[in-house]
Amino acid sequence: SSEVLEAIENVFQDVLKSLAQKKAPVLTLANRSDWRNIEFKDSVGLQMIPHCTTKQIRSDCPRSALKFALTLKVLSVIYKMVQSNTYATKRDIYYSDTLLFGSQSVVDSIINDISCMLKIPRRSLHILSTTKGFVAGNLSYTEEDGTKVNCTYSATVFTVPSNVQGIKNLISHARFMLIVEKDATFQRLLDDDFCNKVSPCIMITGRGVPDLNTRLLVRKLWDSFQIPIFTLMDADPHGVEIMCIYKYGSVSMSFEAHHLTVPSIKWLGLLPSDLERLNIHKDVLIPFTKQDQNKLASIQKRPYIACQPMWKRELEIMAASKLKAEIQVLTSLSSDYLSRVYLPNKLQFGGWL
C-alpha cells in the first residue's frame, strides 16, 4: 500500500510542480487502445510494449480539462481508500457523485487509465470489480473472509468471487475445465449433470464478454491445476471474440495480460466446420449482418490468428458461408444432443483446435 500511496503522491507532486512554474499541468498515459502499442507473444497473448505511444490529458485544453479533473478526483478517492484500508466497486465510485461523473463508463475508463498509468493492478488500488460470472463442478476453495465454498456436490451455481487473488485452499479432481459463453447453455449442462457424467470437470461462464474476476479465476485455476481448458462458444464472430479474450486478452487490458490470459485454451466448439459435418439444416442458421462481417474481418487480421492455421480455416468457412449458429442449434438434432453426444464425442476423440 505504501507503494500505491507513493505513486499517487508523485502524480500530485508533478501537478503542483507545473503550477509552481506557471505551466498547465498534464497527465501522460499510455495509449491503451492503439494496436501499434501491442505485441503478440505466444506465451502471454496480447501485451503492451515497453515504450509505447502516449496521450496527454491537458488541464488547459477545453476537450480534456474535465477528464483531467475527474482523474485527479478518482486518484484522491483511491488514495483515501488505500490509507484507510477500505474498498469500493467502480459502481460505488460512480454513485458517490453521479452528476460529476455523468456515466459509469467514464469512471470505468478513468480507473483503467489510472491502473495503466501507475502500473498497479486494480485490486491493489482497492477497487473491487462487480462479478457477473458463475462457476460450478468439481471445485472447492476458501474465500478471503474464511467462507468455505464447495461446488462439487451441488447442482447450484456459485458466483465468481469478487476477490479472486484472496481465495485459497483450492481443491479439485477435475480432468478439464469448460468455459461456456452463455448462461443458458451453462444452466442446461448443469441440469443434465454434465460435470459428473462424462468425467469430473469445472465449468465457468462469464455470461457473454467476461468481466475481470472471471478472467482472473480462469487464470488462477489454470495456475493451480494445469488441466486442459476448453471453450464452448456460438459459431459466430462474437463467440470467437469472447474466446480470444480468455485466451489472448484484450487490447484495452493488455497492460495486465500476465495475470489474465491463458494461451493454452482450446476451441472445442461450436466449430463452423461442425455445422456441415453434423448436417445442420440451413433453415436453423442465422445470416450474417454487416456488423458480423466487419467483426470477422477484424478478427482475421489480428496477429494471433496467423499462428493458428486451424482457427484460420474455421474463420474462412464462416466467412464463406456468411451464416452463424448459436450452440442451441444442436437441439434441432435432439433436446440433449449437446451433453449426451456432442461434448462426450469431442472430448473422447480430440475434436478441438
> Which residues, listed in sequence order, are joined to residue 178 by a DSSP beta bridge?
203, 230
220, 227 Cβ separation under 8 angstroms? no
| Angle at alpha carbon of residue 152, lines to 150 and 155, rounded to 5° | 100
Catalytic (active site) residue 246: no
Q: Which of 79, 94, 95, 141 is catalytic?
A: 95
Cis peptide before 347 (omega within 30 of 0): no
Strands (E) across the chain are located at 26-30, 38-41, 45-48, 54-58, 88-89, 127-128, 134-137, 140-142, 148-150, 158-159, 168-171, 176-180, 201-205, 229-232, 266-269, 286-287, 323-324
Nearest to 114 by CA among 148, 90, 136, 145: 90
The packing angle between helices 237-248 and 290-300, to 10°, is: 30
Q: How far is CA 342 from the centre of its chain?
A: 26
278, 346 Cβ separation under 8 angstroms? no
Please tell me the chain's helix, strand, coil percentages from 3-state DSSP, rounded to the nearest 5: 50, 20, 30
Q: Which helix (H) or strand (E) holds 101?
A: helix 98-101
CB atoms within 10 A of CB 155: 11
> Which residues, listed in sequence order, are joined to residue 176 by a DSSP beta bridge?
201
Residues in the chain: 353
> Which residues participate in catalysis according to the annotation?
95
